C-alpha cells in the first residue's frame, strides 16, 4: 500500500482557546491512512504555549498520524503549507466588546459581524489578514485559505481583491439552520434535502424536501417552532422561506436593541470562560477531559470547518454550503461578489451548484448587502472616508446618513483622515 500523503495545515490564530476542540475533531475523523502536520501560529507566546501543549497531548493519546507544532514565526510556519485555516481575532475579546456595544447609543443594535459592529471589526481585521496573505503569496502560493475569521465575507472579498491567494469561507449557521428545521419537522436532518442561497450571515433556506415531498408549506405554517431565530413567525410565513438567525438584526433592529441593553454581554461570559479554560489547560489530566476544552462551544469545527478540510484533502466532492466567488452562479449579483451557496468541495476547491430562486424583495436585500461589502472593502483598502460613508449607507441596517456618519466617526482611524 502506498504511503499516505502528508498534508500541512497552518492555523492563523492558533492560540485561540477553541483550537484544542479543532484538534479533537480532527483526531476523531482522520483515518489511519491519512497524515497531517498541523502548525499553530499565534502572536501571544505564553498563551500559544499553553494551547499548543494541550493540542500535543491530545494528538499523543489519539491513534492518528498527526504532528503538532506551534510558533510565533508566520514565515517559518507557512513554508510548504497545503491549507491555511484563518481564525484570527484581531483586537481580541476587547475588540469584540467594542463592536457589540458602541452603536447601541446611536440606536442600532451592536453585533460583531453585521451592521456597524461588523464594519468596525473589518477595519481592524482586513489590514492584518492582508499582511499575512502577502507573506503567504511569497512562501506558500499554492495553499488554499479556509477562512473562519469574521466578518467572513468581507475578509474573503479583501483577500480575493488584493492578493492572488485562493480562499473559501466557512460558517456553521447554514448547518445549524438545517438542524433547527429538522427538529421543527421532527425528522432526521440526514433525510432532508435543502435549497439555500445567500451571503455570509444573510442567507435563506428556500426549499425543504423529504423523500421528494415539499415540506416548506408545512414548515412555514408552523414557523413558531423556529423561535430560536428570533424572527416574527408571521413574517416567515409571509416570505415563504426561512431566514438564518442573523436576520433578526435586519428585520427587528429595535427589538434586538432592547434585548441587547437588557442581556448580559456575551463577551463578558467569554472572557470568564477563556480565563478558566486556560487555567484548566495546565492541569495534568486536561487532555482526558473533553469538557475542559469544549467549553468555548466551537461547534463550527464539527459542523463545517473539519468537513470542508477533509473534503479538500480527500477529494471527496462532498456537497457543502460554503462562501465562494459568485462568478455566474447568481446572475443578478456581480461576478466578483462572495456568495454562500451549496458547492461540490474537492481537491480543486469548491464548485458552486446552480443557485436557488429568490423573490424580488429578497434579491434586493442581497444586492444592497453586496454593495455594502464591496464598497466597505474598497474603502478600507484605499483608506477612503467617503467610500466608507457610502458603504454604511448601503448596509441594510443603516438607512440614515446622519447615523451612518456618527458610526463612521466613532471607528474611522484618525491617521486615515488626512
Q: Which candidate, 255, 266, 210, places its Cα nearest to that of 231?
A: 255
Confidence of residue 293 (pLDDT cuts 50, 70, 90): low
| Domain of residue 56, CATH code | 3.40.50.720
The domain of 142 spans 6-170+268-298
pLDDT for 192 equals 98
The answer to whether residue 155 sits within a structural domain is yes
Q: How far apart are CA 22 and CA 27, in angstroms?
A: 9
Number of helices (H), then strands (E), belonging to the chain: the values are 18, 13
Q: What is the pLDDT of residue 270?
A: 84
Domain count, the chain: 1
Residue 390 located in a structural domain: no
Per the domain annotation, does 323 fall within a domain? no
Assess whether pLDDT exceeds 60 at residue 2: no
Query: What cell numbers appear for 243 in the block?
Result: 431566514
pLDDT band at 342 (very low <50, low <70, confident <90, very high): very high
pLDDT at 267: 83
Q: What is d(CA 339, CA 367) in angstroms, rounded to the nearest whole number? A: 11
pLDDT band for position 345 (cuts 50, 70, 90): very high
Q: Examine residue 162 and state whether it is found in any structural domain, yes or no.
A: yes
Q: What is the pLDDT of residue 252?
A: 97
45-54, 193-202, 219-228, 262-271: least confident range: 262-271
Please report whether residue 223 resides in a domain: no
State how far the Cα of 198 lies from the Cα of 114, in Å rounded to an integer: 14
Residue 417 lies in a domain: no
Average pLDDT, stretch 240-255?
97
What's the mean per-residue pLDDT of the chain? 95
Indicate the pLDDT class of residue 18, thresholds 50, 70 and 90: very high
153 pLDDT higher than 70? yes
Amino acid at each position: 500500500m502506498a504511503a499516505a500523503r502528508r498534508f500541512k495545515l497552518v492555523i492563523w490564530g492558533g492560540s485561540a482557546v477553541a483550537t484544542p476542540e479543532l484538534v479533537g475533531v480532527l483526531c476523531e475523523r482522520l483515518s489511519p491512512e491519512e497524515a497531517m502536520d498541523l502548525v499553530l501560529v499565534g502572536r501571544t507566546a505564553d498563551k500559544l504555549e499553553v494551547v499548543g501543549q494541550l493540542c500535543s497531548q491530545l494528538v499523543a493519546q489519539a491513534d492518528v498520524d498527526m504532528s503538532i507544532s506551534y510558533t510565533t514565526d508566520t514565515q517559518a510556519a507557512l513554508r510548504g503549507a497545503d491549507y491555511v485555516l484563518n481564525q484570527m481575532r484581531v483586537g481580541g475579546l476587547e475588540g469584540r466588546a467594542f463592536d457589540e456595544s458602541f452603536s447601541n447609543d446611536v440606536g442600532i443594535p451592536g453585533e460583531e459581524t453585521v451592521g456597524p459592529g461588523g464594519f468596525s471589526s473589518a477595519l481592524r481585521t482586513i489590514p492584518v489578514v492582508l499582511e499575512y496573505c502577502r507573506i503567504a503569496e511569497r512562501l506558500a502560493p499554492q495553499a488554499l485559505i479556509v477562512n473562519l475569521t469574521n466578518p467572513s465575507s468581507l475578509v474573503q472579498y479583501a483577500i480575493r481583491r488584493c492578493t492572488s491567494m485562493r480562499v473559501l469561507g466557512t460558517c456553521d449557521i447554514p448547518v445549524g439552520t438545517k438542524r433547527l428545521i429538522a427538529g421543527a419537522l421532527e425528522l432526521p436532518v440526514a433525510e432532508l434535502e435543502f435549497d439555500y442561497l445567500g451571503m455570509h450571515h444573510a442567507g435563506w433556506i428556500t426549499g425543504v424536501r423529504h423523500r421528494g415531498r415539499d415540506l416548506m408549506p408545512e414548515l412555514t405554517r408552523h414557523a413558531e417552532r423556529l423561535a430560536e431565530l428570533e424572527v416574527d413567525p408571521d413574517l416567515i410565513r409571509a416570505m415563504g422561506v426561512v431566514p438564518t438567525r442573523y436576520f433578526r438584526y435586519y428585520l427587528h433592529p429595535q427589538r434586538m436593541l432592547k434585548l441587547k441593553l437588557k442581556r448580559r454581554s456575551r463577551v463578558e461570559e467569554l472572557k470568564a470562560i477563556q480565563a478558566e479554560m486556560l487555567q484548566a489547560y495546565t492541569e495534568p489530566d486536561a487532555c482526558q477531559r473533553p469538557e475542559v476544552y469544549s467549553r468555548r462551544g466551537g461547534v463550527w469545527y464539527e459542523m463545517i470547518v473539519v468537513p470542508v478540510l477533509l473534503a479538500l484533502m480527500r477529494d471527496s466532492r462532498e456537497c457543502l454550503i460554503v462562501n465562494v466567488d459568485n462568478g455566474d452562479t447568481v446572475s443578478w449579483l456581480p461576478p466578483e461578489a462572495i456568495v454562500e451557496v451549496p458547492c461540490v468541495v474537492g481537491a480543486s476547491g469548491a464548485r458552486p451548484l446552480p443557485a436557488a430562486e429568490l423573490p424580488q424583495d429578497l434579491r434586493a436585500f442581497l444586492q444592497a448587502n453586496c454593495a455594502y461589502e464591496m464598497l466597505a472593502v474598497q474603502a478600507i483598502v484605499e483608506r477612503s472616508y467617503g467610500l466608507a460613508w457610502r458603504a454604511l449607507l448601503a448596509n441594510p441596517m443603516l438607512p440614515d446618513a446622519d447615523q451612518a456618519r456618527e458610526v463612521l466617526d466613532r471607528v474611522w482611524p484618525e491617521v486615515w483622515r488626512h
